Amino acid sequence: MDLLNGLGWLGKSIIATLLATPFIVFWSVFVKTGAKPEAMICTWFTGCIIGILLIALKVGFVRVGDLSIKDFLPTIPLLIILVMGILLGAYANVLLSQAMSSAPNSALPFALFGLSSAVAFILSPVVSAAFPKLFYSANFSWVNFLGLVLLAVAVSMIVYQPTSAILSK
């Protein structure tokens, strides 16, 4: 479908969010059946890898231009990302999967995890200014920053559960 390819970043982000939602919604169902969080997150990412490879082979409804299997061959950037995935991503996702399994609502840790984008948004202009040869220049908007602050406040309000003693004062 060329419709999906014609979307801008916001449209693609919204659709990606909708596509990831069933994974989050059904998480607690699978935990109740005895599935281990680490096995579930590993299986999810295995499915993602298979799906991305199929998309690269031009199977599916999203066309990705000139992406091919050769684009997955090891290069310095891909090796750096691989190491980051091993050292950072694996732990982040295992911890996230464990948090989702013990949270009162499995979507809460995922929402909090999404704030990593806000941190990256704030750091990007600083990093791109400090290392302009390595990073593209990053745009900073106070309106977008305020939106991320409001998002952080909203997540905090969801996570914070006041006790009845606090409410009665």
In tens, the pLDDT along 21-59 reads 888 888 888 888 899 999 999 999 999 988 888 887 777
Query: Mind listing the pLDDT tens digit for each residue in 110-120?
Result: 888 887 877 88
pLDDT for 1: 47
pLDDT for 46: 93
pLDDT for 56: 77
The CA distance from 2 to 7, in Å, is: 9
Token duo for residue 68: 């091919």
* Region of poorest pLDDT, from 31-40, 59-68, 150-159: 59-68
Give the residue with greater pLDDT, 141 vs 164. 141
Q: What is the mean pLDDT of the chain?
A: 81
Angle between helices 142-159 and 115-130 (to 10 degrees): 150
pLDDT at position 2 over 60: no
Query: Mind listing the pLDDT tens digit for each residue in 82-104?
Result: 899 899 989 998 999 999 888 88
Q: What is the mean pLDDT of residues 140-153?
A: 84
How many CA atoms within 13 Å lie on the side-chain side of 45?
11
**Residue 34 φ/ψ region, left for φ over 0, alpha for ψ in the -120 to 50 degree band, beta for the rest:** left
In terms of average pLDDT, the best of 14-18, 44-48, 67-71 is 44-48
pTM of the model: 0.70
Cβ–Cβ contacts within 10 Å for residue 122, how many? 14
In terms of average pLDDT, the best of 86-90, 108-112, 138-142, 155-159 is 86-90
Q: What is the mean pLDDT of residues 106-135?
A: 83
